[in-house]
Amino acid sequence: MHILKSDGRQVAFDGERLTRSLRRAKIDDATVKDAVEHMTKMIRPGSSTQQIHDRVLHFIAQRDSIGAARYNLKHAMLQLGPTGFPFEMYLGKLMEAYGWSVQVGVTIPGMCIEHEVDVYGKREGSKNRAVEAKYHNTAGGRTDVKVTLYVYARHLDLEKRDPNCRGVLITNTEFTHDAILYGECVGMKMKAWNYPQDEGLAKYIEQKGLYPITTLPQLPRRTAANLLHDGIVLSSQLCHLSREDARAYGLQDDAFDRLQQEATRLCTVDGHGSSPS
């Protein structure tokens, strides 16, 4: 059975891949089994991955609202836009959780020119990180080789002035084939949603339970947009808001209490995870 990906390619439906995605969302085995069996019966040739995702999400949400929110992580990241600034703020919070001291939106001098850096991180025992955050708000958006070329050029200029500085490229979706080929050829530090394998952005989010506020289905979009504008990007940050703060964003007390409960459950993790290099 072939399905249609967001970039227009046709691929075979992979029940094992769906199983892995659901298990990463900490959904119980019985629900995972039922969901995969349900989708295997429901899909038709030419069904889009978006249609499949929506159907799986609806099925899971009826049994496990928090599991459904975790499963919806990748799509929630697409809702951080339309600008790239919330994604930059989000990456800053993610890096802080792994022990980095960060600055967002800074200018760093290279040997030849100054460079606007989305996220600049320092951590004892590691090289400084000058991060280019490439945000896409559509599932089919991919970061191409032109981006890897200019990020590597920036890396070289920064490294000439400060040998302890390393350029990094991070995207919330995927890289094109040529972007990966070039990056691997020159030894560039790159992270996409599932790249490198078992070391992608998704893994580091899930290990720390750092889910964006857009993961919470009951949070109104306009409210989410206002929160993001003010730098509140993590669901866990909602746990530290007061009722007075919440009212300023248009959230009534009862709705806010439920939202905080959901945010607390969503962000609970079993362990602390390893540290990204």
Residues 145 and 171 reside in one and the same domain: yes
Q: Which residue has the higher pLDDT, 152 or 261?
A: 152
- pLDDT digit string (tens) for 170-181? 999 999 999 999
Residue 192 C-beta-side C-alpha neighbours within 13 Å: 20
Give me the percent of the chain exceeding a pLDDT of 90. Answer: 70
Report whether pLDDT(157) > 80: yes
List, in sequence order, the alpha helices (H) in the chain: 15-24, 29-42, 49-61, 65-71, 73-78, 85-97, 145-161, 177-186, 201-208, 221-229, 235-238, 243-248, 253-267
pLDDT at residue 82 in the model: 87
- pLDDT digit string (tens) for 60-89? 989 998 899 999 999 999 999 889 999 999
Give the end of a domain, one of 43, 71, 99.
71
Give the end of a domain, one of 13, 41, 71.
71
Report whether pLDDT(197) > 80: yes
Q: Which residue has the higher pLDDT, 217 or 87?
A: 87
Residues 163 and 237 reside in one and the same domain: yes
CATH number at residue 176: 3.40.1350.10
Give the residue from 217, 214, 176 showing the smallest Cα distance to 195.
176
Listing DSSP states for 169-212 in one string gives: EEESSEE-HHHHHHHHHHT-EEEBTTBSTTSSHHHHHHHHT--B
Number of domains in the chain: 2
Is the full-model pTM beyond 0.85? yes
Distance CA 86, CA 72 (A): 18
Tell me the three-class secondary structure of 220-248, residue by residue. Answer: CHHHHHHHHHCCCCEHHHHCCCCHHHHHH
**Which of 93-97, 135-139, 180-184 is least confident?**
135-139
Report whether pLDDT(270) > 60: no
Residues 256 and 159 reside in one and the same domain: yes
Q: Which domain holds residue 82?
A: 77-277
Average pLDDT over residues 215-243: 92
Residues 256 and 166 reside in one and the same domain: yes
- pLDDT digit string (tens) for 21-37? 899 888 999 999 999 99
Pairing of strands 142-143, 174-175: parallel
Residues 187 and 214 reside in one and the same domain: yes
